[in-house]
Amino acid sequence: MSLVILDLEWNTAFCKELNKYVNEIVEFGAVKLDDALKVIDTFSCLVKPTVAKEIHPQVQKLINISFEEIKNAELTFPYVVDKFAEFLGDGTLLTWSNTDLHTLIDNCELHFMESNLPFVSSFCDLQKYCEYSLGVSSANRMLGLSSCAQVLGFVEGDSQTHRALDDVMLSLKCLKALYNRRHFEEFIETCDEEFYKKLRFKNKYITNINNPHLDRQQLFFDCPNCNVRCVRKSKWSKKNNAMHAYFVCPECKESFKGRLQAKVKYEGVVISKKMISAK
């Protein structure tokens, strides 16, 4: 089975039919790889817009494409996505994070009323794999492609050109630098109904200390100096999607501010805790 790395560029435009803003794809870029991660084919295609009448000013600052270019493109999204589906074949689709996957689904819903991607059989999130390989996974901060390339010493500063095929090639360099077949294969997911349920699940923070989904045992903090259970000395307060309270160690009498962040994900509630000296 081949691997196909995909990158999309899109423009934000207001759709009158849906009465909302949509991210309309304006460019596809992809490479197909063999088992040795060698490029065996490439795919690059601009998409003629059917919603946008101009490029959104904020988008224009990010993408290196003029509206004149995409307006003069030969094919609209339905034709381009058919060509890409043929290019993908039975290969595993790779994107940096799942944002492009969400955008691809949104555009398929816009044009075909299709909520899944029947032409995608398996998927791998390159961002998650590279975070794992570098040991920098964080619930609060995601590793961007540019940052990953900098960590690996490929570039200095913001390397993303925001042309699809160029960013695909940068993703490939990161993958090659961190590739371990056995570990990589563990990140490949089958695109079944369970996959799409997980993809559509909206993460949210718990900010009510009395929420029944919050494990009460997580509300306790131990002194980082004595490893003794601290005593809470204030009520819980909410700030920046986290809950805070003051604690005192009965052993060393040190005062601390306890920070607890609880995030509801598809797999369950993920807890992040931190103790900060009140001094």
Q: Which two tokens stand for residue 253?
A: 């009498």
The count of other CB atoms within 10 Å of the CB of residue 272 is 14
Strand partners, 273: 260
Q: Which two tokens stand for residue 224?
A: 């980082």
Taking alpha carbons only, the member of 217, 218, 245 closest to residue 232 is 245
What tens-digit pLDDT sequence spans the chain (279 residues)? Answer: 799 999 999 999 998 888 989 999 999 999 999 999 999 999 999 999 999 888 888 888 788 888 899 999 999 999 999 999 999 999 999 999 999 999 999 999 999 988 899 999 999 999 999 999 999 876 557 899 999 999 999 875 554 557 899 999 999 999 999 999 999 999 999 999 999 999 999 999 999 999 999 999 999 999 999 999 999 999 999 999 999 999 999 999 999 999 999 999 999 999 999 999 887
Whole-prediction pTM: 0.84
Taking alpha carbons only, the member of 74, 2, 86 closest to residue 37 is 2
The count of other CB atoms within 10 Å of the CB of residue 103 is 18
Spell out the domains of the chain, with CATH numbers in brackets: 3-200 (3.30.420.10), 204-277 (no CATH)
Going by the DSSP 8-state scheme, the letter that residue 248 receives in this structure is E
Termini Cα distance of the chain: 57
Q: Write the DSSP string, 56-125.
A: -HHHHTT-S--HHHHHT-S-BHHHHHHHHHHHHTTPEEEESSSHHHHHHHHHHHHHH--SS-TT--EEEE
Residues 6+ positions from 278 with CB-CB distance below 8 Å: 246, 254, 255, 256, 257
